[in-house]
Amino acid sequence: MLPAGMDPRTPVLVGAGQIVHRAGEPGLPGPVELAAESLRRAGSDSGTGDRLLRAADLIATAAPVSRPYPDLGALVAAELGAAPKRTVQSARFGGDAPLRLLNFVAQAIAEGNSDVALLTGAEAVASWNVATRGGGTLDWPEQPEGARPTDVIGSERGPNTEMETAAGLWGPVYFYALMETALRGRLGLSEQEHRERIGGLWSRLSGVAARNPYAWQPTERSIAELVTPSPANRLVSTPYPKLLVANLSVDQGAGLIVCSAAAADAAGVPHDRWVFPHGGATATDEWFVSERTDLAASPAIAAAGQAALAAAGIAIDEVAHLDLYSCFPVAVQVAAEALGLPIDDPARPLSVTGGLTFGGGPGNNYTTHALATLVGLLRADSGSYGLATALGWYITKHGVGVYSARPPAQLFRAVEAEVPVARRDTAPGYTGPAIVESYTVAYRKGSGPDRADEPEAVVISALNPNGARILLRVSDAETIAAFTDGDPLGGAVDITAADQLTLLTERTAR
């Protein structure tokens, strides 16, 4: 029997499952196998076995990267013996996918367009790497050409401007490293102080991973281990060595079963297994990083967080369990600032999994693991609330969700939050005086006898006297030395070409 006064269309999470296939274990599983197994575990977790899995009328999947199936849901449904009327897949790239998909699914249930929905995703980059290095053969299913889901959720828009690409900002690690240094400048910290700050943040996440049975690297790490470059922790792009960046080379899957309260009740799912979405909001920051007023801030996370919390009828201080998307340290710090959270509260860690370095970074699907973990925590702490964030591209597209085992006060409604305009002009090709707003030194992997990492270029964000932003990639030895041996953050420069500048202030010792 439904709880008194509950709308039968109320969406509820009733099952959560996760799987991690570690190096050395038999087989080389692919995304279909891992996703299907995670849903089988979700079925067992719900107490209904495969009953709800076979009854699903909708399956939503985070687009896989290790094998870019155009309709992963159709393949997973076939593995489970399900015949959903609709398959929904996220845009090809974006860690915001799980929360956008969950909002879509919950909204469909609330509107009476679905009764039983499955949400899943998986990545098998580790198995792919083993196979391509000659360590085995992949026996992954193929999908017919022309296969398509019923719906694609999210934006497929490209992430870069020409100026960004020309400066070498073609991948997340370089963008996030540039944003990290911009944050350091705004906080007024020395390089050593900032290393201690982000090393402490990541060390605390590793401690969470050490207690997570589904973590890819369940080992607690010290600050010194994390911030000190070594052959096992090579510099990638300052201030990030390898252990401060997301680890995509994993084999992991996670799955959720989401029902209407009426369907959950009819299936006999015990009420103590129910966890409700209370608020779900999405938002988008100024699309191109170089056009944002502040490289290290997110008005969109603030707006989505406010909308999700308002829908739940609570304040951030009432949230007991948190998972902030943690691909790089700056992403966590920016989200914490936007939501009004300290980064070092021992009573409220900022991740329930250990994050994308230690918990594991399975492509677009990380936050499904966070949600699955939150389900267990919220069942055990039944009066509490949990909050998860998700983001795609370079702190660009966002989702924030609030959950609890408490029944919601109102029927779920997904919200696209309104974000205030925060745009800065850019000045591609500018020459003349400017101030160094941020920088990152990009490194190539060492190949010599000592395998020392080698700086290959410095990417600089500078502001001209009108406040317009210029991005440069400079690779001459003198400039690289100035940015590796000193710290010209905030210093004056004269830009003489798209790849040349002169420092007008003395280098500062690190």
Instruction: Report the run of H or E that residue 272 belongs to, with start and end.
Output: none
Q: Which whole-number Å values give the CA distances from 54 to 50, 51, 148, in the listed order?
A: 6, 6, 21
Q: What is the pLDDT of residue 112?
A: 97
How does pLDDT run across 336-372, given as a tens digit for each residue? Answer: 999 999 999 999 999 999 999 999 999 999 999 999 9
pLDDT band at 2 (very low <50, low <70, confident <90, very high): confident
- 87-96 average pLDDT score: 97
DSSP for residue 346: T
Strands in 321-323's sheet, in edge-to-edge order, are: 321-323, 385-392, 397-404, 276-284, 415-416
> Is residue 287 within 8 Å of 421, Cβ to Cβ?
no
Residues in the chain: 510
Q: What's the one-letter identity of residue 113?
A: N
Token pair, residue 449, equals 């006898």
Q: What is the pLDDT of residue 3?
A: 86
> Is residue 140 within 8 Å of 32, Cβ to Cβ?
yes
pLDDT higher than threshold 50 for residue 507: no
Token pair, residue 311, equals 């829908």
How does pLDDT run across 446-488, given as a tens digit for each residue? Answer: 655 555 689 999 999 999 999 999 999 999 999 999 999 999 9
Q: What is the pLDDT of residue 447?
A: 57
- 379-403 average pLDDT score: 97
- Beta strands 321-323 and 385-392 are parallel
Task: Count Cβ atoms below 10 Å from residue 17 Cβ, excluding itself.
Answer: 25
- 294-300 average pLDDT score: 98
Residue 325 to residue 128: CA distance in whole angstroms: 25
Phi-psi sector, 489: left (phi>0), alpha (psi -120 to 50), beta? beta
Collapsing DSSP to helix, strand or coil, 502 comes out as strand
- 198-212 average pLDDT score: 98
Mean pLDDT of the chain: 96
22, β-bridge pairs: none
Residue 409 to residue 311: CA distance in whole angstroms: 9
**Which domains does the chain possess?**
11-158+247-416 (3.40.47.10), 432-503 (2.40.50.840)
Tell me if the pTM is above 0.85.
yes
Q: What is the pLDDT of residue 497?
A: 95
- 202-221 average pLDDT score: 98
Token pair, residue 130, equals 């083993």
> Is residue 300 within 8 Å of 292, Cβ to Cβ?
no
pLDDT higher than threshold 50 for residue 509: no
Token pair, residue 332, equals 């966590």
pLDDT band at 510 (very low <50, low <70, confident <90, very high): very low
The pair phi, psi for residue 498, each rounded to 5°, is -65, -20
Q: What is the pLDDT of residue 451?
A: 54
For residues 463-494, b (16+ Cβ closer than 10 Å) or e, as one string? bbeeeebbbbbbeeeebbebbeebbbbebebe
